[in-house]
């Protein structure tokens, strides 16, 4: 079955068809939530909540990009979670060193295909990017996550965040400039493979 | 040499994603060639974009597939449900009828039951020599209170032939059994039918739910 058939079957209550769609989109949904929220557990909860509400609201889906529809749902779930966090700030229970530095989460190193060196590089890069993303305002964060990290085009991002193309362009430019400034402080920490390369016109 | 404005930065950023028209792009390219700060800003944006695009995608910690409870799904109603909704109404009516019939039956039993008619309490009923209790000395008299043979002889009259002085007790008319038995049989019959219908409805519901769970489980496994 292709995607429209699966969606149609899911609309008629076929849970197996919907779960096929879940398996196809769960990675992008989870990673979007993870980059916006910056927390594994919250991202997992937001992803699960997204699929539950998507199944229940499937009749409101009127065609178009199903991926964009799902990402809009997860983005809204993340906005809700961020608002909740602002109302009730919590202290993360991350392990720390004696000096008070945060110990890296070992799950970041869980890619079995990468060498230890690559895993370290990936972890450093991910940590730096997440740190800079966390400093961005929520609206900018969503745009940069969707356009640059998930690689969606502007029209899809526009549908997801419900803003016109001009707003997406300006928010993305501003977010990229702020990310650049932030990442410059990590430049020495970034591995050589991720140091500034030219890929003009890509 | 001019430093790029915010609008220039927006255009530079959009050019990386191919969001400029050909005329906008050619105009921007000429400015980039003439102004070093434009080229530097473009380089910075490119590098940032590249870095962001190389952010590793994390594996999902678990599958987010839904189960029946998460989806809020209930087993579809069996095809016999309309029949059994009528059947349950019928069963209820039969049950009420049965209860009502039993109640009425017990009332009619009470009405038809033989009643003892009290014998007339006059002096004639005790025959000659007998007397009503009024002739008996009051209990406060100790000598009379102690039952002696003499006292007993005074109190208990001698038996007299019934035909002479004591009137016959009224005859007990037997309740006709034909009016009760059919009602009871019918009420038991209806009660049986109601129980059978309820049992059948429960059985169908249970088998339907079991089949639904088995089907859904099999689908979710693939």
At the top level of CATH, the class of A1-89 is: mainly alpha
The pLDDT, as a whole number, for residue B100 is 78
The pLDDT, as a whole number, for residue A107 is 47
Please give the structure tokens belonging to residue A69: 């529809």
User: Is A188:B20 a contact under the CB 8 Å cutoff?
Assistant: no
pLDDT digits (tens, 9 = 90+) for B56-100: 889 999 999 998 888 877 766 666 667 667 777 777 787 787 777
The pLDDT, as a whole number, for residue B213 is 72
| A188 CB-contact burial (10 Å; exposed 0-12 / middle 13-18 / buried 19+) | exposed
Domain layout of chain A by residue ranges: 1-89, 113-195
Please give the structure tokens belonging to residue B182: 């059919």
The pLDDT, as a whole number, for residue B13 is 94
Please give the structure tokens belonging to residue B159: 């038996």
- Listed in sequence order, the DSSP H helices in chain B are 6-16, 22-34, 36-53, 68-71, 81-112, 142-145, 149-155, 181-221
Secondary structure of B164-208 in HEC code, one letter for each residue: CCCCCCCCCCCCCHHHCHHHHHHHHHHHHHHHHHHHHHHHHHHHH
Subunit contact B64:A51, Cβ cutoff 8 A: yes
Question: What are the pLDDT tens digits along chain A (202 aa)?
Answer: 799 999 999 998 889 999 999 999 999 999 999 999 999 999 999 999 999 999 999 999 988 899 999 999 999 999 999 998 887 766 655 555 556 555 544 444 445 566 777 777 778 888 889 999 999 998 899 999 999 999 999 999 999 999 999 999 999 999 999 999 998 888 776 666 555 544 444 4
List the single best residue of B6, B25, B66 to mutate versus A (max A Cβ within 10 A). Answer: B66
Length of chain B: 222
Residues 6+ positions from B76 with CB-CB distance below 8 Å: B208, B212
Ranking B12-16, B140-144, B176-180 by mean pLDDT, the lowest is: B140-144
**B121 backbone dihedrals φ, ψ, rounded to 5°:** -95, 55
pLDDT digits (tens, 9 = 90+) for A81-93: 999 888 776 665 5
Residue B5's Cα: distance from chain center in Å?
Answer: 72
Ranking A126-135, B98-107, B198-207 by mean pLDDT, the lowest is: B98-107
Subunit contact B48:A176, Cβ cutoff 8 A: yes
List the single best residue of A15, A150, A154 to mutate versus B (max B Cβ within 10 A). Answer: A15
Global pTM reads 0.62
The pLDDT, as a whole number, for residue B141 is 46
Helix (H) or strand (E) holding A24: helix A15-37
B6 has a pLDDT exceeding 50 = yes
B71 in contact with A, Cβ within 8 Å: yes
B212 in contact with A, Cβ within 8 Å: no
B189 has a pLDDT exceeding 60 = yes
Residues 6+ positions from A53 with CB-CB distance below 8 Å: A73, A77
Please give the structure tokens belonging to residue B172: 């007990």
Residue A134's Cα: distance from chain center in Å?
Answer: 12
> Which residue is listed with tokens 């910690």?
B61
Q: How many CB atoms lie within 10 A of CB B33?
A: 10
At the top level of CATH, the class of A113-195 is: mainly alpha
| Local structure of residue B137 (DSSP, 8 states) | P
Between B5 and B215, residue with greater pLDDT = B5
The strand pairing partners of A102, in sequence order, are A96
Task: Write out chain B residues lying below 8 Å of A34, CB-based.
Answer: 58
- Listed in sequence order, the DSSP H helices in A38-94 are 40-56, 66-87
User: To the nearest whole percent, how much of chain B has pLDDT over 90?
Assistant: 18
- For residues A152 and A68, give the distance between their C-alpha atoms in angstroms, rounded to a whole number: 9
The pLDDT, as a whole number, for residue A130 is 92
CA distances from A157 to A62, A169, B167 (A): 18, 10, 112
The pLDDT, as a whole number, for residue B95 is 78
Between B79 and B33, residue with greater pLDDT = B33
Please give the structure tokens belonging to residue B75: 């087993």
CA-based nearest residue in chain B for residue A58: B71
DSSP 3-state of A168:
helix
- For residues B100 and A78, give the distance between their C-alpha atoms in angstroms, rounded to a whole number: 63
Residues 6+ positions from A78 with CB-CB distance below 8 Å: A32, A33, A36, A37, A46, A142
The pLDDT, as a whole number, for residue B222 is 41
- For residues B94 and B101, give the distance between their C-alpha atoms in angstroms, rounded to a whole number: 10
B219 in contact with A, Cβ within 8 Å: yes
Subunit contact B44:A202, Cβ cutoff 8 A: no
Nearest to B91 by CA among B197, B18, B163: B197
Residue B17's Cα: distance from chain center in Å?
Answer: 63
User: Is A70:A32 a contact under the CB 8 Å cutoff?
Assistant: no
pLDDT digits (tens, 9 = 90+) for B116-174: 555 555 544 454 444 444 444 444 444 444 555 555 544 555 555 544 555 556 665 65
The pLDDT, as a whole number, for residue B72 is 78
- For residues A187 and A199, give the distance between their C-alpha atoms in angstroms, rounded to a whole number: 18
């Amino acid at each position: 079955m292709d995607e429209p058939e699966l969606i149609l079957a899911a609309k008629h209550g076929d849970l197996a068809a919907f779960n096929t769609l879940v398996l196809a989109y769960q990675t992008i949904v989870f990673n979007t939530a993870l980059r916006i929220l910056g927390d594994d557990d919250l991202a997992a909860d937001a992803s699960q909540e997204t699929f539950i509400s998507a199944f229940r609201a499937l009749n409101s889906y009127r065609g178009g990009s199903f991926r964009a529809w799902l990402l809009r749902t997860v983005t809204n779930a993340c906005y809700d979670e961020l608002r909740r966090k602002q109302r009730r700030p919590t202290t993360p229970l991350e392990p720390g060193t004696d000096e008070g530095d945060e110990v890296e989460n070992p799950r970041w190193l869980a890619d079995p295909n990468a060498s230890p060196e690559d895993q370290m590089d990936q972890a450093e890069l991910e940590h730096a990017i997440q740190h800079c993303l966390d400093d961005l305002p929520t609206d900018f964060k969503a745009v940069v996550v969707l356009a640059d990290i998930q690689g969606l085009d502007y029209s899809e991002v526009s549908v997801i965040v419900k803003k016109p193309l001009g707003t997406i362009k300006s928010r993305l430019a501003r977010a990229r400039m702020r990310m650049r400034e932030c990442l410059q402080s990590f430049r020495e920490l970034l591995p050589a493979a991720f140091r500034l390369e030219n890929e003009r016109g890509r | 040499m001019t430093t790029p404005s915010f609008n220039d930065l927006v255009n530079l950023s959009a050019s990386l994603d191919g969001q400029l028209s050909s005329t906008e792009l050619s105009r921007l390219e000429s400015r980039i060639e003439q102004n070093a700060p434009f080229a530097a800003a473009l380089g910075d944006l490119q590098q940032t974009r590249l870095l962001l695009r190389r952010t590793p995608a994390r594996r999902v910690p678990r599958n987010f597939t839904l189960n029946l409870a998460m989806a809020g799904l209930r087993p579809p109603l069996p095809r016999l449900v309309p029949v059994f909704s009528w059947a349950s109404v019928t069963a209820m009516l039969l049950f009420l009828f049965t209860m009502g019939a039993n109640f009425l039956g017990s009332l009619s039993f009470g009405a038809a039951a033989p009643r003892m008619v009290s014998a007339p309490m006059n002096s004639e009923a005790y025959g000659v020599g007998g007397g009503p209790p009024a002739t008996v000395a009051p209990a406060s008299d100790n000598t009379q209170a102690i039952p002696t043979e003499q006292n007993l002889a005074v109190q208990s009259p001698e038996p007299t032939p019934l035909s002479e002085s004591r009137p016959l007790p009224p005859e007990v008319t037997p309740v006709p059994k034909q009016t009760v038995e059919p009602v009871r049989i019918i009420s038991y019959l209806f009660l049986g039918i109601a129980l059978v219908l309820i049992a059948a409805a429960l059985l169908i519901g249970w088998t339907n739910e079991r089949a639904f769970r088995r089907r859904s489980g099999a689908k979710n496994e693939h």
